[in-house]
Structure 1
């Protein structure tokens, strides 16, 4: 998939999902991971799914409305490092992974994931929240997996090159 087609698919997917999230979610939520990077200008990253950080009750509410799309057989990777109310749903073209009350095992304790600074991105008329670039860097480094550290490096390189601007 070329960069323009990937951008179109990501934006169209998020735009289609935003009203569904709005109808189910009552608590703050953010797109995180590769989707957040992509929507923040790092379009060389092509997300394989849409990661959503929200509350446990919002995951439950969304699954109650869209349970027919639930991929019950899917188990998240790194469950020794991460825990949450997790659900993966089959949406086209990108599946959605909901993480309610996400926590990370760090220094011998479970620590809640918090997004401290937010950027609002327009997706075909729908305002969605992603962590700021600085916050994405912090989260990727904090998550600490090889793939997260690689994403942090890519963001840092693009910021230092002047291709992306930290707000």
Structure 2
């Protein structure tokens, strides 16, 4: 059972993604919740998509891409925060995480369909999601891996 604010945010997100031309995914805590893990705290919804789709989605939503798209751990070619839904939706394209091998692109190979209010949300499969979260290397991500794999 998803929290009402997460459910509403995901429905709004899927409606925006309807015109996407390329595959897209919800990742991080929202994806863990979509895999049925409970309880899980979800503070925002992270969406990975192609640069073209992200640009079109942001333009349609009036979201201005963030100029400073990098941190010491993450960077994106295009990044924006959609703040209209109950939870912030972070739109990321060309998303990379720094690892011992350097900057590594996060681009899932699996795509699992999750039904939600007559819509479909896409997430990486459990194993790939756990690998992505492990790559992030933060304590909260390791906890998400533990919940996802237990």
TM-score (norm 1): 0.79
Matched residue, 2:45: 50
The answer for the alignment partner of 1:118 in structure 2 is 111
Tell me, in whole angstroms, the C-alpha distance in 1 between the residues paired with 2:38 and 2:4: 11
Q: Distance in 2 between matches of 1:92 and 1:111?
A: 30
Q: Choose 1 or 2 for highest CA Rg.
A: 1
RMSD value, Cα: 2.1
Q: Distance between the aligned counterparts of 2:17 and 2:138, measured in 1?
A: 28
Counterpart of 1:16 (choices 7, 12, 32) is: 12
**Match of 1:64, SS?**
helix
Query: After the TM superposition, which segments of 4 or more aligned residues of structure 1 sit over 3 Å from their partners?
Result: 69-73
Alignment of structure 1 residues 27-38 onto 2, 5 Å = 27-38=22-33
Q: Among 83, 88, 100, which residue is 2:75 paired with?
A: 83
Q: TM-score, normalised by structure 2?
A: 0.87
Shift of 1:126: 0.5
**Paired positions, count:** 149
CA positional deviation for 1:71: 8.4
Which has the larger share of helix? 1
Deviation at 1:80? 1.3
5+ residue gaps, structure 1, are 158-167
Q: How many Å separate the matches in 2 of 1:120 and 1:129? A: 5
1:161 corresponds to: none
Q: Distance in 1 between matches of 2:57 and 2:17?
A: 7
For residues 136 and 18 of structure 2, the distance between their equivalents in structure 1, rounded to whole angstroms, comes to 27
Q: Structure 2: 5+ residue runs without aligned partners?
A: none
